Structure 1
Amino acid sequence: MLGEVSVRLDGRVLSVANTGAPLDESGVQALAALRASNKSAGTVGRYGVGFTAVLSVSDEVELRSTSGSVVFSSRRTRSALAQFDGADPGADVPALRLAWPTANLPVAGATSEVVLTLRDNVDATALLGHMVREAPDLLLELPSLASITVGGREFRRHEHALASGLTDIAIGGDHWWQFVSGRARWLVRVVDSVVRPSADDVLRAPTRSDEELSIPALLIADVAMQPDRRRVMPGASLAEVAVGYADFVAALPPKQRLAMVPLPGFARSEVDSALREHLLAELREKPWLPTVGGKDRAPNRAAVVPGLSDDLAELLADIVDGLVVPELSGPRWAHALATVDTHRIGLARIAELLSGVVREPAWWARLYAALEPLAVDALAAEELASIPVPLSDGRTVTGPRTVLLGHDIGDVLGVDWTRLVHPEAAHPLLSRLGAKTATAVDLLSDPALRAEIEDLDHDDPAAAADLSTVVLALAARGDPGALPSWLGELLLPDVDGELRGADELLLPGAPLTAVLVDDAPFTSVDSAFAERVGETALRAVGVGWGFTVLRAELPTGPDHDLDDEDRWWDTLDDDPETIDAVRDLDLVDEERWSAALTMLATDPSTRPLLADRGGYTAWWLRHNAELDGQILGLLREPDDDTFTGLLDAVHHPESAVFAAALAAPAVDSPELAQLLLDRLADAHRQPSPAAIMRTHTLLGAAAAARVLDLDELHLPDHVRAVTGAVIDPADALVLDKPWLSAAVPHDHLVVGSLDTGEALADLLDVSMASAALRSVVISTGRPLSWGEDPTAVLAHATLGRPLPQGEVVVHPRLTVSLTGAFDTEMTVPWWVDEEGTTHVSASWAAATWGVADVR
């Protein structure tokens, strides 16, 4: 039966009653002689040390029991000693050595009662308050006590066994979990089912000693103590006390166990230091640490991944042996885990353990997602540098830095010419770890793919089908205009089941068929195959519908199998950065160019190329394509009047689109120069004087710039005068000095630019007017400087022209004598003689001074 203790204060008398075992004679002898209890184990008051504490508050102690009562009194003991040996009545005496019997019995219901008469210097109220505070500890320390009542306030212990092996002890509103091992009881306070480890305490054996402890649990131990029970007996075995502590920790809820690990710190006593060592040794080697999968492990045989999440734990459960549960893997528990020697697993070790692991691509994506929160800096990224990555072709490689992440390529599989991450495994973490991003165009532009296409065997349809499936799936997602032209070498099945390059095939019903020559080297792709893979993908790799565009980056020469490519290349000043050219223009039937030009002008992939005058496409059309029997480059755009009357206007609804393939408003080729010379000599052509002059100006400029090789041109039998007259070259003169226009009959005058008159004369093999005529001014005039005549000054100021320097001769009537090509005398408005002096007629000068300075 458990004992009950009751404490009452009546004035200056304090009584403590209990229901324990009654007092017997040997008990009184023990208290008087040894100050130690003779009670058996498990009995309240067994150690007896607590009784001597009464002397701290009282000199008169009465011990009442149902079996008999005694009184211990300092006063009576001192009096008795004085009578016996004459001792000083005021001397200190051992109050508990002599006991006097008394007839007083304990209060009703109690077996024993201690009654103390408090000394005058004792604060009774404070004493009672102290006992109130100590009551719960006594109930924990003395399991034979069921309750303690102090001044009417009851403290009662309630015990409840838990399934884990713990005992829940409740005292008032406070709870403790207790675990009993061989020589110790371990207790920890609990609030809302969560343990609250002790910060500091003392060894209890069973009541408080002076041995300070810093372990997380309250320890009530059966350990050898010195007689005053304040210190542990030297040599006492603390290792035996520590046995079972790991079992206590294992009985706690898994998430709370690490809270009971003694953390490193300064020991509070020698006992504390030794006990901590024994506890940690037990904790390191005994299984109590919760690991993934529900099994407890010894910490030194477990591993912790800092920051482990539930998802990562699930994925690593069968890869990392003894993985500590996520709830105990956060930074809060890192110190405790390190204290018990739990192995820390870093990202580099995880990557190492994953080597050789075979999983589905989606599993890897989940793993990357679970690892992403841990890859917080460059060091973490470096540690994951060797993590495996599954590829789209079924391989698994080491390290994200060597792989490509597909961008907008869908779920394309089987890319074996590069390290493309399997679409189901793709995750942003790989990019952070060094993976590059590749579009469909990037993948299809890889030289490794080109090599694979070139190595395809025409007799291996299975290999061709495997590769074409992947390439076409990517091509359907890429920009056709950005794909390399060599994809046209991809082998695809034609209507006869034979393998042919994609650029040798046409889609069923392709409009290109209608404009090609009948013997064009094209056939149709297999219709069932075309329907299965789609028109978009087939056109992207070069299967024809309309015209196909070839694109080459950084070309180094005319090696792209384009018609007349050598000639076009010779027109370039430098190697181009790219070539964009329409293929197979040479296969267009010459009678079908009108329809072909419409196709080129309306197709978005070819339309831009028609506007590039220096590009291959416009160049080839200018030199080879025909409309109405004429080469395009010798036809003019209807809105361009540069060569009106000499070149025919093109008649085509899309002419504005392919204007760069028509004649330019300049003479830029020998072919155009030859045609213009011929048309100028053709009397049936009726160009205007302005058109004639523009044409001669442009011919002269081309000759002066050496665009033309005069030896390659065939000069016609006639030339065209500015009036439109077709004349013999021997009768023609090229105007090279402006004043000669008044002297030479206009039907004999060939007019272009005065600046290039000499070049034009060489081109036409016609004399220059200044070389064919000699002149002498035969009239007399009045010389004066330009600045002396107010009319001249005013005229030049009005025209905004600078006033010429030097001398001008003003004639009432200016007459010159000409010899050479023409022998005559004639009146002219102005003239510059062979010495360079300007002569003007008075009437002309008065009206047009501003022209007189032209030389």
Structure 2
Amino acid sequence: MLTAVADPFDTAELRRRVLAAWSDSPARFREDANAEEDLVRGGYRDRLLVELAQNAADAALRAGVPGRLRLELTEVGGGGEVLHAANTGAPLDAAGVAGLASLRASAKRDQDGTVGRFGVGFAAVLAVSDEPAVHSLHGGVRFSAARTRAEVAGVDALAGEVARREGVVPVLRLPWPADGPPPAGYATEVVLPLRAGSRAAVRAALAALDAGLLLALPGLTEVEVVVDGAARTLSCTRTPPLVRLRDGDTTTPWRLAERSGQLPEELLADRPVEERARRGWTLTWAVPLDDDGRPRPLPDRQVLHAPTPSDEPLSLPVRLIAPFPLGSDRRHVAPGPVTDALTAVAAEVYADLLAALSPDPAVLALVPRVGLAAAELDAALGSAVLDRLRATAWLPATDPEEGERLTPARATVLDAGTDELVGVLTGVLPGLLPAEWSRREGAPALAALGVRRVGTAQVVEAVTGIARPPSWWARLYTALEHADREELGALPVPLADGRTAPGPGGVLLPDEGLPVDRLGPLALRIAAPEAVAPPAARRLLERLGARPATAAAVLADPAVRAVVERSVDAVDDGWDDADPADLATAVLALVATARLAPGELPWLAELALPDAEGAWAPAGELLLPGAPLAAVLEDGALGLLAPDVAAAHDPAVLQAVGVLTTFAPVRAEDPDDLDVDGADAWADAVLDRLPPGPPPSWPPLTAVRDLDLVADWAGALPLLAALPDEVWADVVLDGVPAPCHLRWWLSTHPVLGGRRPDRLRAPDGGELAGLYEPAQAPPEVLARLRPAATVDDVLADPDAALDLLDRLGDSACTVLPAVLRTVYARLAVALDGLDVDPPARVRVAPDRVADPARDPVAVLDAPWLQPLADGPLVPAGGTPGPVADLLDLPLLSERVQATVTSTPVRRGPWAAVPGADLAAARLGLPALPAEVAVHGRLLAGDRPVAWWPDGAVDHVDGTPAALGRALAWRAGAWPLRQALAEAFAEPGRAADLAAEDAVG
């Protein structure tokens, strides 16, 4: 039995009217049933909490109090759950009850400022509950599917319709009174016993409820969500244009841009009556901010809030809250003039939003992306927003003279811009955006806005021809250090002399300490020092083809060499726009900085310098005042440097450019380029030392100039001896050493007391005693000249060897016996291949010469013939043939023709001679070959001889000496003749002598 409750809203009368209408017109029943079924089928379960919050917000606005909503899920007996939604504000009244029981008819239709859309909101409860109730301070109402079904079952006109619908009836058309006030502090409570199949969805919706919902509900300041006793509070604090949303302990600020107004009546002509009565509108764009006040774009897929969430997709990552007209499904925007008008306003307000945000490139994420629209409204909004943004001054200007904000048409962004590059180009490129706006992720947005993008090549074009101080260029180069090399080829470079190079290629980058201020006369492309002072600037320009300009590098510039080499001619021809003194100062400053050594750059000797007479001459033809060299040269051979110039510069610098204090080295890669006296003759003398073959490759050559100008060799030689070892070093060709030009020239000229050093011997050269006089000079001079000390020293030079050949025939000379024995043989080897005239006289004894024209001189080639010689003999040193050819003399064997004329007393094998075993051992033979014939008195041509070889038999006079010589000659061991003679002389001591041999 049902307990009667108070009925302040006269629900009985409402039920009576509805039932009467249904009875009179079952079609009306079907219409109401279908309408409610459409609402339920519309999927309002996901919008239930939104609709409850919307109603709570409207109630608060009507009452003019802060809106609070409490959503609590509780359990009831039997495992059921009930959702309670209590809110503050205006309580439910009779008009409200009538609105709830009249589908699509809202009690708020004439109240601007509320957000409820024509009674649809409460119908969402049917998605989760069959028994919804509303408790209010003025009373309550309840709706019930079961009670409605029972009421309708008693109406005959409707029984068939209910049966056809299988018991499904409109729930929200028949209200019943309900008792129970709302919770304390609240004006109204909606109580929803949950249908079993909806409980999980309600729990999920409560957990997912977002504080962002409050943005669209200005009347609602707080929502408390309680599930299983755990409470979570969502709140909203509005301090326009900021709104702070709190979800538990997390607070998020949102930036809003809002505009309100009224729609013209004519725009609403085709809209429902309820909408035509509510022309006022408020449009809001909202975007969350991070802790630094930068926009934090929402996820890509948003929906229009009209004002609560619809199903209309938006691609803009912000929230749009606007009363766009909805279609019959209450989910999508209806096209038409109202939608068009609100779209235009939305674009304007969106531009206001972006202009009001901090000028950070994060704003670019809010720019619509062309071609990414999610639906028709989204496309229209994106297009309108882009058009408005293009016409709005909202982009930040770097140049303060251009104002604070720029329209996209006036803006410029750098590719890969940096703070440094933007800073230096501000004032050069108009409309320049800050560097952070050039990031890659912002490029699509800037392109959609039509912002001009400038690459490195355009930067180079923009700075070409502008006048800026070198320090500005240094900043530009530093900022461009990592730019693409191919786009920087025409990057201007300011030069030290005020000119501007059209590109870095070939520009000289001055090193610290380079005397740039003095280098003007050289007309070089030297960068202004301040422009290339930062290391990054230098690195960039070097990468682009500029060259580091140390003093040495500048001197290596071909242009500098060309100016120096024509400087004397330029003086003679008259200088047009330069002063030779300035040129000299520039070059001397470079040399001082580079710390060049004398002769390091030989062409510097062509630098025009003033002499003591006021004329100009090459530096290499001038003497430093007081130079030691001046005292040893012929008078007037070289000029004297102007004393004032000498006093103004470091002597070492003057010497480095060729001004002379002592003898100067000359360097070349080939003898043909060696500009010194006798270079050709020296080269021939060197080549004469080489064996026949292809021309050799010459090493770098060093000589000394002005030797032919010396007047005082006693004073000059110590100066020459003090020169570096480099100028005295031998020249080595194909492994054969030869004297350098300096030693050769001095050796072949009378520089030692009027004598040629190559015609003297070293003081300790005892092997040449009697043939050469000793050289007399200071030790350091002799060490450099290296006069011959041995026969080998003489024979190394063909010219000296010819001189030795002549000296051997000079009766005024003597020869050491040891030298005489081999000297002609060694000469024959040294002079082999040369066309040599035979000497008029030849040496036949250490102290005696012979004239072949008067004496039957022969070359001793067969030692057994010596007793038969009728004239002097020349020792052959083991090579009688070459010696005979050299001296144009016959061999002794050609002069003497004889045979053995005596008869031997005995004949037998060599092995039978006493002492033969020891002789064989000393020869290294197992046994002695051939035979020996012993004569009492050995005669050849009836003249006595000691031994005589004759084919397979050796004839001897029997003496040990003859035996030793004969055996040594046969065995080809002539140097062992004395050892063999000893073996035959003392055969009884063979064992002792063999023991001695073992010791040796």
The normalised TM-score by structure 2 is 0.71
Note the alpha carbon deviations across 1:77-123, whole angstroms, 9 max, x for none: 5566566765348844433345567897766655x514324245376
Q: Is the 8 A contact 1:549 1:606 kept in 2?
A: yes
- Residues 585-596 of structure 1: pairs in structure 2 closer than 5 A: 585-593=707-715, 595-596=716-717
Determine the C-alpha separation between the residues in 1 that align with 2:348 and 2:419. Answer: 34
Letter of the 1:516 counterpart: L
- Matched residue pairs, number? 828
Note the alpha carbon deviations across 1:573-603, whole angstroms, 9 max, x for none: 447464321111222234425x534543453
Determine the C-alpha separation between the residues in 1 that align with 2:723 and 2:496. Answer: 39
Higher helix share: 2
**Paired residue for 2:487?**
383
- Residues 677-756 of structure 1: pairs in structure 2 closer than 5 A: 677=805, 679-683=807-811, 685-693=813-821, 695-706=823-834, 709-710=836-837, 719-729=842-852, 730-731=854-855, 733-739=857-863, 742-743=866-867, 748-755=872-879
2:209 aligned with 1:134 = yes
Determine the C-alpha separation between the residues in 1 that align with 2:936 and 2:69. Answer: 158
- Residues 731-810 of structure 1: pairs in structure 2 closer than 5 A: 731=855, 733-739=857-863, 742-743=866-867, 748-755=872-879, 758=882, 763=887, 768-780=891-903, 795=919, 798-799=922-923, 810=933
Cα 1:47/1:464, change in 2 over 3 Å: farther
Letter of the 1:256 counterpart: A
Q: 2:122 aligns with which of 21, 26, 51?
A: 51
Determine the C-alpha separation between the residues in 1 that align with 2:380 and 2:907. Answer: 133
Q: 1:633 aligns with which of 758, 761, 767?
A: 758
Determine the C-alpha separation between the residues in 1 that align with 2:285 and 2:95. Answer: 34
Cα 1:565/1:323, change in 2 over 3 Å: same
Letter of the 2:727 counterpart: T
Percent of residue pairs identical: 36
Cα 1:192/1:788, change in 2 over 3 Å: farther
Q: Is the 8 A contact 1:626 1:632 kept in 2?
A: yes
Shift of 1:503: 0.4
Determine the C-alpha separation between the residues in 2 that align with 1:337 and 1:256. Answer: 12
Q: 1:397 aligns with which of 482, 487, 501?
A: 501
**Paired residue for 2:6?**
none
Cα 1:117/1:441, change in 2 over 3 Å: closer
Q: Is the 8 A contact 2:825 2:883 kept in 1?
A: no
**Paired residue for 2:617?**
500
**Paired residue for 2:104?**
34
Cα 1:333/1:28, change in 2 over 3 Å: same
Note the alpha carbon deviations across 1:680-718, whole angstroms, 9 max, x for none: 455554431223345434443344331x6539xxx67x5
Cα 1:759/1:850, change in 2 over 3 Å: closer
Q: For structure 2, which runs of at least 5 residues remain unmatched after alignment?
A: 1-63, 260-281, 688-694, 975-1000
Shift of 1:491: 0.9
Cα 1:592/1:723, change in 2 over 3 Å: closer
**Paired residue for 1:176?**
253
Cα 1:325/1:530, change in 2 over 3 Å: farther
Q: Which moved more, 1:667-676 or 1:315-324?
A: 667-676
Letter of the 1:259 counterpart: A
2:307 aligned with 1:206 = yes
**Paired residue for 2:800?**
672
Cα 1:92/1:275, change in 2 over 3 Å: same
Shift of 1:495: 3.9
Q: 1:825 aligns with which of 943, 961, 982?
A: 943
Shift of 1:504: 1.4
Cα 1:331/1:120, change in 2 over 3 Å: closer
Note the alpha carbon deviations across 1:344-378, whole angstroms, 9 max, x for none: 4444444444433555555545544433334xxxx
SS of match in other structure, 1:428: helix
Q: Is the 8 A contact 2:307 2:321 kept in 1?
A: yes
Note the alpha carbon deviations across 1:18-42, whole angstroms, 9 max, x for none: 4445666665555525334325333
**Paired residue for 2:562?**
451
SS of match in other structure, 1:618: helix
Determine the C-alpha separation between the residues in 2 that align with 1:417 and 1:780. Answer: 104
SS of match in other structure, 1:627: coil
Cα 1:245/1:642, change in 2 over 3 Å: farther
Note the alpha carbon deviations across 1:158-192, whole angstroms, 9 max, x for none: 1345xxx6555555523132221446423233343
Determine the C-alpha separation between the residues in 2 that align with 1:804 and 1:587. Answer: 71
Q: Is the 8 A contact 2:417 2:438 kept in 1?
A: yes
Determine the C-alpha separation between the residues in 2 that align with 1:284 and 1:792. Answer: 127
Determine the C-alpha separation between the residues in 2 that align with 1:793 and 1:272. Answer: 129
Q: Is the 8 A contact 2:747 2:785 kept in 1?
A: no
Q: Is the 8 A contact 1:157 1:171 kept in 2?
A: no
2:223 aligned with 1:96 = no
Letter of the 2:196 counterpart: N
Note the alpha carbon deviations across 1:647-692, whole angstroms, 9 max, x for none: 2333432256424676871346676356535544555544312233
**Paired residue for 1:852?**
970
Q: Is the 8 A contact 2:125 2:132 kept in 1?
A: yes
Q: 1:535 aligns with which of 651, 654, 657?
A: 651
Query: Which one has the largest radius of gyration?
Result: 2
Letter of the 1:455 counterpart: R
Q: Which moved more, 1:789-798 or 1:320-329?
A: 789-798
**Paired residue for 1:613?**
738
Q: 1:309 aligns with which of 418, 421, 444?
A: 418
SS of match in other structure, 1:513: helix
Q: 1:581 aligns with which of 678, 692, 703?
A: 703
Determine the C-alpha separation between the residues in 1 that align with 2:637 and 2:926. Answer: 68
2:269 aligned with 1:147 = no
Determine the C-alpha separation between the residues in 2 that align with 1:741 and 1:220. Answer: 140
2:320 aligned with 1:216 = no
Cα 1:452/1:58, change in 2 over 3 Å: same
Determine the C-alpha separation between the residues in 2 that align with 1:26 and 1:844. Answer: 166
Note the alpha carbon deviations across 1:6-25, whole angstroms, 9 max, x for none: 32657566554444456666
2:384 aligned with 1:259 = no
Note the alpha carbon deviations across 1:738-758, whole angstroms, 9 max, x for none: 416843789933335453755
SS of match in other structure, 1:586: helix
Cα 1:446/1:129, change in 2 over 3 Å: closer
Letter of the 1:157 counterpart: C
**Paired residue for 2:347?**
242
2:285 aligned with 1:186 = yes
Q: For structure 1, which runs of at least 5 residues remain unmatched after alignment?
A: 375-379, 819-823
Q: Which moved more, 1:259-268 or 1:239-248?
A: 259-268
Letter of the 1:733 counterpart: V
Q: Is the 8 A contact 2:216 2:321 kept in 1?
A: yes
SS of match in other structure, 1:658: helix
Q: RMSD across aligned C-alpha pairs, in angstroms?
A: 4.5
Q: Is the 8 A contact 1:775 1:816 kept in 2?
A: no
Cα 1:75/1:620, change in 2 over 3 Å: same
Determine the C-alpha separation between the residues in 2 that align with 1:803 and 1:302. Answer: 116
Q: 2:235 aligns with which of 156, 166, 169?
A: 156
Cα 1:709/1:428, change in 2 over 3 Å: farther
- Residues 253-652 of structure 1: pairs in structure 2 closer than 5 A: 253=358, 254-262=360-368, 267-283=373-389, 286-290=392-396, 292-293=398-399, 296-299=405-408, 302-338=411-447, 340-359=449-468, 363-374=472-483, 380-390=484-494, 395-403=499-507, 410=514, 414=519, 416=522, 425=532, 427-434=538-545, 443-456=554-567, 457-458=570-571, 460=575, 462-476=578-592, 477=594, 480=597, 483-527=600-644, 529-530=645-646, 532-553=648-669, 557=672, 560-571=674-685, 573=687, 574=695, 576=698, 578-593=700-715, 595-603=716-724, 606-608=727-729, 613-624=738-749, 626-638=751-763, 640-650=765-775, 651-652=777-778
Q: Is the 8 A contact 1:440 1:475 kept in 2?
A: yes
Determine the C-alpha separation between the residues in 2 that align with 1:814 and 1:598. Answer: 72
Q: 1:118 aligns with which of 193, 210, 225?
A: 193
Q: Which moved more, 1:328-337 or 1:575-584?
A: 328-337
Cα 1:568/1:15, change in 2 over 3 Å: same
Q: Which moved more, 1:677-686 or 1:217-226?
A: 677-686
Letter of the 1:596 counterpart: L
Letter of the 1:241 counterpart: A
